[in-house]
Chains A and B, each alone.
Chain A
Amino acid sequence: MTNAVQDKVIKIIAEQAMLDTSEVSIDMLIEDIGLDSLGLVEAIFSIEEYFEINIPFNANDPAASEFDVSKVKTIINAIEELVSAKDN
């Protein structure tokens, strides 16, 4: 399950950033991946669609969201929590 979430999130982020999945690692900062604000919003939409979850992300002030979008890893961790909360 964990790897499934991780692989899918990386795939969505890589696709938005026009990168190969091998170029995106979980330790990278979102800003270093080259994802702009619109790209990030669209990635979050794709993730919500795929996992059928609602992500508490506020595009007005991403830093203030409960959802930490600074790193690939923080995004994956948060989504894993949301997915397991949904499954339970």
Chain B
Amino acid sequence: MKRVVVTGQGTINALGIDVASTIQAMSESRCAIGQMEFTDINRLNIKIGGQIKNFDPKKYFKRQELSLYDRFTQFAVFAAREAILQSGLIFEGELSHYSGVVLGTAGGGLQTQDENYRAVYQEGKNRVHPFIVPRLMNNAAVSHVSLANNLKGPSFTVSTACASSNHAMGQAFNLVRSGAAQVMITGGSESMLCFGGIKAWEGLRVMSHDGCRPFCATRNGMVQGEGAAIFVFEEYEHARARGAFILAEISGFAMSSDAADIVMPSIGGARRAILAALKDAKMNPEEIGYINAHGTGTVANDKTEASAIKEVFKDHTKKLMVSSTKSMHGHLIGGTGAVELIACIAALKDGMIAPTVGYEKADPNCDLDIIPNHARDKKVSAVMSNAFAFGGLNAVIALRSI
């Protein structure tokens, strides 16, 4: 089995439109959740989110590209540019045949669906733009990252709700580890901040109207975000041979299914995924210094996740730092694990432990060191990232410094 390292990362999210500004914002414990702006927002009860407001796609894409790119594709292609540029890789010849793209998304081209359903149903329009299908398909982001960068190897989209990007990165990891690919571009993107996207979530009554406060006694639901994070996963010897700068090593990955309830999380499913990821990484629980939690800010997730962590890490839990950066960038659904991996890599590389902001009051069900409100400076050598999706599908990634 080959070793897999990260040699590039890129992102766009409400905290920043690149990795440096995102990490800077996390280290300053900044919250990017605020009032959203889009058509018909006044018909929503939920008006807050982690919306990207300082991004003008016309500055970064040609007109023909924009006519084919839904916002979720724009985010993916944009973040992939930063990641691939950092890696220094140019995909040509053999390398391009052994390099592919696996990305997560839950909603795919939801902005395109929303706009065009509005046009045909609400406005009674009978003619639609010819590219609606290639814009809205869930694999559009993967395909455009592939064609923009000449990536001709294994490429596909993974859709497992809130765990999509963790599942995607796990597939990319295994493709490189098994030798099926030399380099994989992976991560996830999401753009659900539109009337239909938020209205559907509103119906579930799990959304907060005033903020995302994971693990806090006053938490009252999740807050959505949008954006993407993309990484370059590369076979270790390949990266070393070309003298690449290595950000971190992906050491393990595991998945599980609760098989219990379509929306309620289960301690057992979460625990099994965390344990299996440790086993896959050949790590002891005591080695883990930081966990980027799923930490959605819902009553059910946070207490379930805290219990699962305590069951796995036992006494080590006291020394374990656990934060949910969703409190700052919101829940990016199918892209969330990817943005959260930026925080994991910052912890390994810079000792910047991102905080859980908005924390007000202790919840005895969530008695973890959640890095309340202020980032911490602490060296760690191994970290994990949890994602527990609606549908009971869990995906956990383990990383170590190198």
Contacts and interface: CB of A to CB of B under 8 A. Distances in A.
Contacts of A54: 127
Contacts of B68: 38
Q: Report the contact-size class of chain A (Cβ under 8 Å from the partner).
A: 10 to 19
A48 B130 CA distance: 11
Contacts of A39: 64
B21 interface: no
- Best-surrounded residue of B64, B68, B127, B130 (most CB of chain A within 10 A): B130
A41 B64 contact: no
Contacts of A49: 127
A54 B128 CA distance: 12
A18 B68 CA distance: 16
Interface of A: 18, 38-39, 41-42, 44-45, 48-49, 54, 59
Interface of B: 63-64, 67-68, 127, 129-131
A45 B129 CA distance: 7
Nearest to B68: A38
Nearest to A17: B64
Contacts of B129: 42, 45
Contact of A45 (B63, B64, B130): B130
Contacts of A41: 130-131
- Best-surrounded residue of A38, A44, A48, A49 (most CB of chain B within 10 A): A38
Given A18-B64, A42-B67, A54-B127, 6 more contacts: A42-B131, A45-B127, A45-B129, A45-B130, A49-B127, A59-B130
Ranked 10 nearest A-B pairs via Cβ? A41-B130, A45-B130, A42-B130, A48-B127, A45-B129, A42-B67, A49-B127, A42-B131, A39-B64, A38-B131
Nearest to B126: A54
